[in-house]
Chain A
Amino acid sequence: MSGPLISVQGLAVGFGGQPLLEGIGFEVEQGQVLVIIGESGCGKTLLLKNMIGLYRPLAGRVLIAGTDLAASEGDQRRAVQRKFGVAYQSGALFGSMSLLDNVRLPLEEYTRLDDAAIELVARLKLSQVGLLGSEAKMPAELSGGMQKRAAIARAMALDPAILFLDEPSAGLDPVTAAGIDQLILQLSDAQGITFVVVTHELASIFAIADRAVMLDREARGIIAAGKPEDLRDHSPHPRVARFFHREAAP
């Protein structure tokens, strides 16, 4: 395929016609890990939801593999949706299904694998996030961190080309969080999966990110973009430096 896998052009997003972020533009190449950072409440989740077509942008467009999701319908829309998986900030597991069934559901709907094969694929996904042995548990019986990890496993179920993860390691212990980082790197190296990750964990940003995009509420847009090391060491913007040096606002 030619060109970037994801291309965001002149995007404005917000609620009730009021833009929260404007003029957002960036691209993600296949196999890249892009990290979206910014203070709490600046609109990272909102931007992510616009990228995956849950909300309609106020202006601009998002192309995924060359298709504008917001402007497509029916089969075309479903074809794009199958290219990516999403792990939501709150987990959003289906409460009436066991963990295994949560991961099995998309496999049953979209692949022609038989029952035993689907079960094994789903169990491999769960073991990749360290949840082997908890297959029969219901989401309500899981700890917060386990729900997060299960949501990642479900997002990976169909081996999508792109994974959108909203704060995958928030609330996890450092060891498990490092495990998630390792998983992201492994998948992007071996299978060329593209990642768009919202995260606040500095260690995780330096470990996984090829590129970081920093959003800002006051500037209503991107205030810095580039390799995390460059942002940390060379950004002229005081808010960027504060973020990377973990300093409180004056």
Chain B
Amino acid sequence: MEKAAGAGGRWIIGCNYRGGMAKLDISTTEGELRMALGGRLDADGVAPIWQQARAALDRNRALPVRVEAAGVDYCDGAGLAFLVDLRRHPRQGGAAVEIQGLPERFRRLLDQFDPAAFRSAPAARQAGEGIFASIGRSAAALGLDLKSQVAFVGEAGRALALALRHPRQVRWRDTLAVAEAAGVNALPIVTLVAFILGVIIAYQSALTMRQFGAEVYVADLIGISMVRELAPLMTAILLAGRSGAAFAAEIATMRVNEEIDALSTFGFDPVPFLVLPRVLAAMVVTPVLAVYADGISILGGAVTLRLFQVPLVTFYNEVFSWVQMHDLLGGLFKCLVFGLVIAGIGCLRGLQTGNGAVAVGISTTRAVVSALVLIVVVDGAFAVVYYHLGI
């Protein structure tokens, strides 16, 4: 097949390509563009000749094209695409592209594709919108989101009230399982974080207090700040990251798999069926975890203050003379609300999921972010209320 470049405007491009081998031989003679094709037309074979073929067609837009394909001994999907590309090429004045001699079995495959159908670009997804449109859309989405959160709070509240009146209708077994996963299984991480928090705060304050000889008051500081603020906050943040995310991912996957649809066609309302057990479990588990975190972080402080020559007994007396019952109860009530908010928003984000694996990821992210924002808001609100109540 190797030929030298001859006279009369002939040029030859032969491509020998490892393994697969396709040959293209292009010439212009007597007002006609001639392409002789041979060898194996597969992805490896056509990759190197495709560009030359396209370039030759572009250069001679007005000439009729004759493709001699008798030498083709194999043609797969990529080869067919190559031939369809030649056929669909836009020609001036309707100059034809004719493919001749293609073995019959490949011809049948080729003829099932109408070149005209592939001339236009494939339908694309809608392109990005202008800045004003997207601002408007975001604002509208924010409004809708607020509305759905309010509606959800209403529904969850109704479900809670119903549960109080008819406790037998609550799915206690699910509730227990969730409480175990969200509470018992969270003990190691809560222990770790609470202890470290206690150590760090004790150490940093003790360094400063030592200058005034007031190391012993670090005990009061630890006691009050942990019980009132830090332990509930830390517990809530851990719960949001562990269980809020888990609730959202689980319910979102159920939505994607049409399990939620299946539930509702059985007449089960997803709120009492899925949301209520999770919310109840979280409301029970959060205060318990917070009490535990109180204890562990105070222990961490006590251990640290030993380094500053404060005896355990002194530490103990300081903490318990200073921290009052209302401090503890105030912190725990806050935890009750944190649990409600975290579980509620996790379930809501799960129920709001769109379609596909990506949507599950988005829902989970949104659940954690919303939970963190709500924790801060709720905490701030409690600070104001407690201040006015004098707690």
Contact = CB atoms under 8 A, between A and B. Distances in A.
Interface of A: 95-96, 98, 100, 107, 110-114, 116-117, 119-121, 123-125, 127-128, 132-133, 135-136, 138-141, 156-159, 186, 189-191
Most buried by B among A133, A156, A191: A191
B122 A95 contact: no
B356 A124 contact: no
5 contacts: A113-B78, A119-B122, A124-B81, A140-B359, A186-B108
B205 to A, nearest CB: 49
Interface in B39-98: 42-44, 46-48, 50-51, 74-78, 80-82, 84-85
Given A159-B42, A186-B108, A121 B125 contact: no
B85 A117 contact: yes
Contacts of A124: 77, 80-81, 84, 113, 118
Interface size grouping (class) on chain B: 35 or more
Nearest to B48: A112
B357 A95 contact: yes
A159 B105 contact: no
Interface string B307-321: 000000000000000
Contact of A120 (B85, B124, B356): B85
Interface string B100-125: 00000110110011000110001111
Given A121-B78, A186-B108, A96 B356 contact: yes
A113 B356 contact: no
A113 B355 contact: no
B358 interface: yes
A191 B76 contact: yes
A188 to B, nearest CB: 11
Nearest to A93: B356
Contacts of B354: 140
Given A120-B84, A121-B81, A189-B105, A95 B50 contact: no
Return the 9 tightest CB-CB contacts between A and B, nearest first: A95-B356, A140-B355, A159-B76, A121-B81, A135-B122, A190-B105, A111-B43, A112-B47, A96-B358
Nearest to A94: B357
Contacts of A157: 77
Contact of A132 (B48, B85, B117, B355): B117
Contact of B356 (A107, A135, A140): A140
B85 to A, nearest CB: 6
A103 B205 CA distance: 61
Interface in B326-368: 354-359
Most buried by B among A96, A100, A113: A113
Nearest to B112: A128
A112 B44 contact: yes
Given A114-B51, A136-B124, A127 B358 contact: no
Nearest to B114: A127
Interface in B200-240: none
Contacts of A113: 43, 46-47, 50, 78
A117 B108 CA distance: 21
A138 B43 contact: no
Nearest to A133: B123
B50 A114 contact: yes
